[in-house]
Structures are given as C-alpha cells and as structure tokens.
Amino acid sequence: MFRTRLISGIILVLIALAVIISGGPVLAATLFIISVIGLNELYRALGIEDRKFSPLAAVGYLGCAVYYIMVYCGYTAYTMKVVIAVLVLVMAVYVFTYPRYKTDQVTGTFFGVLYVAVMLSFIYELRQMQNGVYLVWLIFLSSWGCDTCAYCVGMLFGKHKMSPRLSPKKSVEGAVGGVVGAALLGAIYAAAISGRMTGEANHVLSFAVICAVGGLISMVGDLAASAIKRNHDIKDYGKLIPGHGGILDRFDSVIFISPVIYYLAEALLGKF
C-alpha cells in the first residue's frame, strides 16, 4: 500500500511539474478535467448523480465548462455572472423536475461548482500573473508541504487530538509542525529563486507568511472534505489515483487554499 501510494505521489508531482510549467491552454484544460472529475465524485457522494442521467448534475458540468472558458479567455469580469446563471439554472431544474430532487441535492450542486471548479481555477489565474510561474508553487508548498510536515511531527510528538471525532489521527502538535514546516519551506523556496522575481517585496518573509497561512487553512480544507465523506458514509471519493483515492481525496486542500494563496500573494506582493 505504501509503495503504491509513493509511486502514485511521484507520478502526480511529475505531472504537476509538466503541466504548471507549460501553463496556458495545457494548464487550463488540465484544471478543467480535474474539476469535472472532482464534480462527478462529489455529486455521486451527495446522491445528485447516479447511473441515470441527472439534469441537475448536467447544469453543474455546464457551469464548470463556461466558467473555465471565461477564465481562459480573460473575461474574468463575467465570472460572477456565470455563477449567478448557474444558480438560476439549478433552481429552474429544481422547479421543473419537482419532486425528483431534494433541497440538499440542489444546494450541493451549486456548492460543487463553487467548491471545485471556481476555487481550483485560481491556480490558473495565479499562474498567468507576472511571476506566476514561481508564485503558483506556493499553493502546493502550503498544501502538500504542510501535510507532510504535520504527518512527521504528529508521528513523533503528537499527543493532543485536534479533531478526535472527525480525524482521530491528527494532532495539535502535528498541526503546529505542519504550519511551521510550510513557513520554512516557503522561506527556503524564496531564497532559492531569489533574483528571478521582479518587484521590491521581501520575498522570504512574504513567502513564509503566505505558506504558513495557507498551511493552516489547508488543514481546514482537508478536514472539510473528510467531514463530507463521514456524513455520507464513504471511505474515499473515488479510485482514480492508486493509494490515494479520488481527485477530491488528493486535491482537497489544494482546492481549498488556491484562492487564499492568490489573494495573499496579491496583498503581500502588490501586483506581483
């Protein structure tokens, strides 16, 4: 199991390197595909989609596609209009197919578009900015770096449970270690790319702060995804990634912190 998980993790990192370095249409298309798969996993977990055609899920996929088209074409001023249109269409399906769907399925459909598609799209938006080829990696340093550091510190020193009912293996000591570890990774990364980025900001301090905050919030994203699974009595969202589960199992914290890192970078580094 560990070997399978390790190999899958290495392959994921290599794919992430290739896709993010490429940027542009390659990154946009990849994020769109990941979003669609993630939506499918979430909709199945929430009982919105099964083997039969689901008009409600179809609206979610359509909204995801249109949203990514707007982002890729640079029409970010229209993205809120797309979100509102998705809400209107979701409610229309709810009305005209009544009583096929329950209220929680309707809200879950709209939530899925925001949670998976919209939030994940910030990876692309950050990558497209000036210095984005460097800044975008803060998302993964915050998420995967915090997760790894938290695991190691928790295994060695963990005594106090952080959320015993939701995730018994996570400890307060591990959480602190994860945040500190993410901050150190951010500082080291900033020092490594020193001189390559434009602007006069203190990159070492800024990157450390961004990764620390991102690492802290990433744990909320991880626990939130776990809470959804527990509420619906499922172990994993899918089986796409051997040893890891589905897209939402592996990218739960990445999805959650992508917009956070984007706005933190904008605030601390100005216009990049």
Lowest mean pLDDT among 28-32, 94-98, 235-239, 255-259: 235-239
Amino acid sitting at position 225: A
Amino acid sitting at position 266: E
pLDDT at 163 over 90: no
* Vertex 217: Cα angle to 216 and 218 (nearest 5): 90
**pLDDT tens-place string over residues 79-89:** 999 999 999 99
CA distance 262 to 137: 11
pLDDT at 78: 93
Banded model confidence at residue 272, pLDDT cuts 50, 70, 90:
very low
pTM of this structure: 0.92
**Rounded mean pLDDT of 186-199?**
85
pLDDT at 268: 85
**pLDDT tens-place string over residues 239-261:** 887 777 889 988 889 999 999 99
CA distance 193 to 136: 13
Q: Which helix (H) or strand (E) holds 19?
A: helix 2-22
pLDDT at 2: 56
Tokens 């990445």 found at: 254
Asked if 217 and 181 count as a contact pair (C-beta separation under 8 A), the reply is: no
Of all residues in the chain, the percent with pLDDT exceeding 90 is 60
